[in-house]
């Protein structure tokens, strides 16, 4: 089997409502690049990457001359052909590598007639549990604003009833820490027996991180995720707070993982199939975490069905995945895969059992959402449409005022 072509298509798929985070917002849609790697036997492998547009599509096109005739089975060679670590100072192609790796694993699985998880060590679970992933959000098209503790609890109750979540992750860093603490406590009071996590995307000062961490120590926490920026910042909080610390921001490669093993700053590493450069890199990282008794979770960078499939196959094969995975997936209004959005059952999504990644593109949906992208374009992830002129600082000193109903103009 040999690669003959790579095609990239940017799509914009609507979210239920604009989601707020510490850096800005997801402006009511996810922009993603879908890739199709075509092999000489007619098979097509699927990949996905965050963001999109002309430059992303051109970056994939630029890989074609070097990957033409590459055998998709040769995954280690692929790593060096796309993202040689000594060249990454000039060409950081980790995310491109990830998307192509997904597609090659999809091709291998289709060629052999086996699901991706059987190529990755075999599954140890049939379904992957997910956390609810709660956001403060702006109102849109019948989806209510989420700003107050009551609104947050009502939204969580709806999600729990619809999907069966028993773990709830609050994305914070939007409002002042004391206000978000009130929201977090409201969740703990409303859902006794469920587990909680809080992630302000690293914008708190160490003092605020300590204050928040100590205030939640008595609650049923999975972990406190990236309360502050950097390995040293996390270490400073970790030394004085008893809640486990997690990160998806500063342990995203093997060098950083080694640093965290030698001087521990985070107790739990959130593995991301894109940021780490593929599913296999995450499996390797999980083995290091197993050896050094670091916890493992699965990070979400805003996935459609192709990327979700990579997260499910990853989650299926990690014996040490003791935490529910994250996904923005339930925030989407639609998906681009055949059959529509994969369903949650009791807070988990079944691992695809078909050959390769086990998902196929719905061509009509891809065309529709490619058109939506052409119509709406991208959006600045690090700006908030309801706060014109604002930009994030780290540590942040200018949180949104929770008493003001911000107006979303987008
Ligand atoms: Mg995070």
pLDDT digits 0-9 by tens, 195-232: 999 999 999 999 999 999 999 999 999 999 999 999 99
For the stretch 220-229, pLDDT in tens is 999 999 999 9
Question: Does residue 325 carry a pLDDT above 60?
Answer: yes
User: Which residues line ion ligand 1, judged by CB < 5 Å?
Assistant: 199, 225, 248
CA of 204 to the centre of ligand 1 (A): 13
165 confidence band (pLDDT: 50, 70, 90): very high
CA of 71 to the centre of ligand 1 (A): 35
**Of 11, 9, 7, nearest in space to 304 by CA:** 11
Is residue 171 part of the annotated active site? The answer reads yes
Overall average pLDDT of the 149-165 stretch: 98
CA of 69 to the centre of ligand 1 (A): 38
409 confidence band (pLDDT: 50, 70, 90): low
Task: Determine if the pTM surpasses 0.85.
Answer: yes
Q: What is the pLDDT of residue 316?
A: 98
Q: What is the pLDDT of residue 88?
A: 80
Of 163, 171, 328, 365, which residue is the catalytic one?
Answer: 171
For the stretch 342-401, pLDDT in tens is 999 999 999 999 999 999 999 999 999 999 999 999 999 999 999 999 999 999 989 999
CA dist 147 → 211, 354, 374, 393 (Å): 22, 41, 31, 21
Question: Does residue 410 carry a pLDDT above 80?
Answer: no
255 confidence band (pLDDT: 50, 70, 90): very high
Is residue 284 part of the annotated active site? The answer reads no
> May I ask the CATH architecture of the domain 3-117+364-375?
2-Layer Sandwich (3.30)
Q: Break the chain into its structural domains and give their ranges.
A: 3-117+364-375, 121-357
CA of 245 to the centre of ligand 1 (A): 11
Mean pLDDT of the chain: 97
Per CATH, is 121-357 categorized as 3.20.20.120? Answer: yes
CA of 63 to the centre of ligand 1 (A): 30
Question: E strands of 332-374, at which residues?
Answer: 348-350
Question: Does residue 171 carry a pLDDT above 90?
Answer: yes
198's CB contacts (< 8 A; 6+ apart) are 169, 170, 172, 180, 184, 212, 216, 221, 224, 225, 227
Of 26, 117, 299, 365, which residue is the catalytic one?
Answer: 299
Overall average pLDDT of the 71-76 stretch: 98
Q: What is the pLDDT of residue 191?
A: 98
Question: Does residue 406 carry a pLDDT above 90?
Answer: no
Burial class of residue 160, CB neighbours in 10 A (0-12, 13-18, 19+):
middle
For the stretch 268-314, pLDDT in tens is 999 999 999 999 999 999 999 999 999 999 999 999 999 999 999 99
Q: What angle do CA 294, 330, 324 make, to 5 degrees?
A: 20
85 confidence band (pLDDT: 50, 70, 90): confident
Q: What is the pLDDT of residue 15?
A: 98
**Of 290, 295, 291, 298, nearest in space to 314 by CA:** 298
CA of 247 to the centre of ligand 1 (A): 6
Residue scoring higher pLDDT (77 or 406): 77
CA of 109 to the centre of ligand 1 (A): 31
CA of 201 to the centre of ligand 1 (A): 5
Residue scoring higher pLDDT (151 or 92): 151
């Amino acid at each position: 089997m040999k690669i003959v072509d790579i095609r990239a298509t940017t799509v914009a798929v609507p979210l239920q409502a604009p989601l707020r985070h510490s850096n800005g917002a997801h402006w009511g849609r996810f922009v993603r690049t879908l890739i199709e790697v075509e092999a000489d036997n007619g098979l097509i492998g699927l990949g996905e990457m965050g963001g999109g547009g002309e430059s992303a599509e051109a970056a994939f096109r630029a890989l074609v001359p070097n990957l033409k005739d590459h055998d998709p089975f040769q995954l280690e060679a692929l790593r060096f052909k796309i993202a040689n670590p000594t060249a990454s100072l000039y060409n950081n192609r980790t995310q491109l590598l990830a998307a192509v790796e997904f597609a090659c694993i999809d091709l291998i699985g289709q060629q052999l007639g086996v699901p991706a998880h059987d190529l990755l060590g075999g599954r140890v679970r049939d379904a992957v549990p997910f956390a609810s992933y709660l956001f403060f959000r702006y109102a849109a098209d019948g989806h209510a604003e989420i700003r107050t503790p009551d609104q947050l609890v009502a939204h969580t109750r709806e999600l729990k009833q619809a999907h069966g979540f028993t773990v709830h992750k609050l994305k914070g860093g939007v409002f002042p820490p004391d206000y978000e603490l009130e929201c977090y406590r409201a969740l703990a009071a409303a859902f006794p027996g469920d587990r909680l996590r809080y992630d302000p995307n690293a914008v708190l000062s160490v003092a605020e991180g300590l204050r928040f961490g100590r205030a939640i120590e008595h609650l049923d926490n999975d972990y406190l995720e990236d309360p502050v920026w950097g390995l040293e910042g996390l270490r400073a909080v970790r030394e004085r707070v008893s809640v486990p610390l997690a990160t998806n921001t500063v342990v995203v490669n093997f060098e950083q993982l080694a640093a965290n093993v030698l001087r521990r700053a985070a107790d739990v590493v959130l593995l991301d199939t894109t940021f780490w450069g593929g599913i296999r890199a995450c499996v390797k990282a999980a083995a290091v975490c197993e050896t050094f008794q670091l916890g493992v979770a699965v990070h979400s960078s805003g996935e459609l069905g192709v990327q979700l499939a990579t997260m499910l196959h990853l989650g299926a094969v990690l014996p040490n995945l003791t935490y529910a995975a994250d996904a923005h997936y339930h925030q989407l209004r639609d998906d681009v895969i055949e059959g529509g959005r994969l369903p949650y059952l009791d807070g988990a999504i079944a691992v695809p059992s078909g050959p390769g990644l086990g998902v196929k593109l719905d061509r009509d949906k891809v065309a529709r959402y490619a058109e939506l992208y052409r119509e709406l374009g991208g959006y600045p992830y690090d700006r908030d449409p309801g706060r014109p002129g604002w930009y994030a600082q780290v540590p942040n000193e200018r949180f949104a005022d929770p008493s003001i109903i911000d107006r979303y103009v987008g």
